[in-house]
Amino acid sequence: MDMKRYLMTNNIIFEPRCSKRTRAAAGWNHQLVILFVLLAILLLGISAFGQDPNYSQWLNTPVYYNPAFTGLNKGMRAKLSYRDQWPNLPVDYRTMYFSADLGDRSLPGAGGFGLIINSDNQSFGFIKNLSASLTLSARIPMNAWLSAQVGIKGGIMQKSMNWDDFVFSDQLNDRYGNITNTQLPPPDAQQRLFPDFGAGGLLQFAALDGMIIGTTGFAVDHVFEPDESFYNIDRSRLPRKYVGHLDVVISLGEGEPGKSQVRGFNDPLRLNPGILYQNQNNLSSIQAGINALKYNIYLGCYYQSTAIDNNSSSLMILAGYRYVISDQATVKFMYSYDVELSGKMAGTGGAHEISLILELSTLKLFGKNRYEECPALQSKEIKFTRLECSPF
């Protein structure tokens, strides 16, 4: 059966392996055992809900939540994110994300393709998850102010553990420490490799002569709920995840005439409110807030509420800077901090998240001209192409 289910059913707790205890240190180490037991209970209770890693800067990792975002705008975008959650706890939770996608209308289907790599470490890194996926999208133009995209994701996931690094509660003696062997049967394999798939769709729209550009969509991840159990006698399904999202970019002014939107300091003030809803294994969460861009500086604030045994909430504060390399290339650096407002994880140190984003707005792989200028940056008369260029 699944190891987590076995542990909770038989009241067996694990802690990281350490050297055998002596009588002189038995009292102090006993307190450490109690601390790790309580911590393991807490972490096992949370992981039992089976929710995927989440990023506070979800607008900077859109392909992770919906593959239909692949190639939404012309050019290439490469994004790298690092998240350190609960830094005040002995066992923090670290996640890394990389994605790259290209929007090239010379492709069959006039959409784009991309790559996603995501990894996370749990319990001092003794349990690790790594996934690599390819994404593909198709674009369906409807009129000058409305387009649709559908996307699919296919890849592999690897879940691994180091059984020898765990010490379980039935191995511990109150006086002598770790002196016995656990009764828990070892896993049939310490590494699982399985395929995983996702799909999604979105609508991209514009209004008021391009002063408002937005997207709304829906996606499903882990469509076939793959088995991630380390034991062959029972299955532990990775729960299917449902995602809904909406965001708009509002430009408050036209900016300086004749200047392209990527020059930065000539840009009008841009506001980017948005909302993200997730549901996985009966656990729901909502993130809602707003980002702002002016003078190449990003500022944002988001509120997140998670429906669990007791509702928990947090506040994300974001700051960033956009460096304009040229009219065709920009680099963005973002930092955010999550403040836990309520719930079981209040006081754990929240979460730090850093993102680095490279955008090449005119790059294409197919066709004669590899650096085709985005027409929307040159002429306001070509209204249809306003949906082709990144507005934020």
What is the reported pTM?
0.79
Find the range with the poorest average confidence among 84-88, 227-231, 286-290, 380-384.
380-384
Give 159 or 381, the one with higher predicted confidence. 159
Q: Annotate 140-171 with b (16+ C-beta within 10 A) or e (fewer).
A: eeeeebebbbbbbbebebebebeeeebbbbeb
- Domain ranges, ordered by start, for the chain: 60-163+190-388
Report yes or no: 299 and 291 within 8 Å, Cβ to Cβ.
Answer: yes
CA angle 153, 375, 250 (to 5 degrees): 70
CA–CA separation, 80 and 220 (whole Å)? 23
Dihedral Cα 118, 119, 120, 124, nearest 10 deg = -170
Q: What is the pLDDT of residue 381?
A: 43
- Beta-ladder partners of 218: 201, 244
Taking residue 327's Cβ as centre, other Cβ atoms within 10 Å add up to: 16
> Which carries the bigger pLDDT value, residue 334 or residue 48?
334
Q: Domain 60-163+190-388, what fold?
A: Porin (2.40.160)
DSSP state of 302: E
Q: Which of 75-79, 107-111, 368-372 has the lowest mean pLDDT?
A: 368-372
Side-chain-side CA neighbours of residue 279 (13 Å)? 7
In this prediction, residue 256 carries a pLDDT of: 45
Q: Which of 239, 202, 228 is nearest to 217 (CA)?
A: 202
Q: Are the C-beta atoms of 287 and 306 separated by less than 8 Å?
A: no
Residue-wise pLDDT tens digits, 223-280: 999 988 777 777 788 899 999 999 999 988 765 433 444 456 677 899 999 999 999 9
Both structure tokens of 356: 């680095």
Indicate the residue type of 319: A
Higher pLDDT, 264 or 368: 264
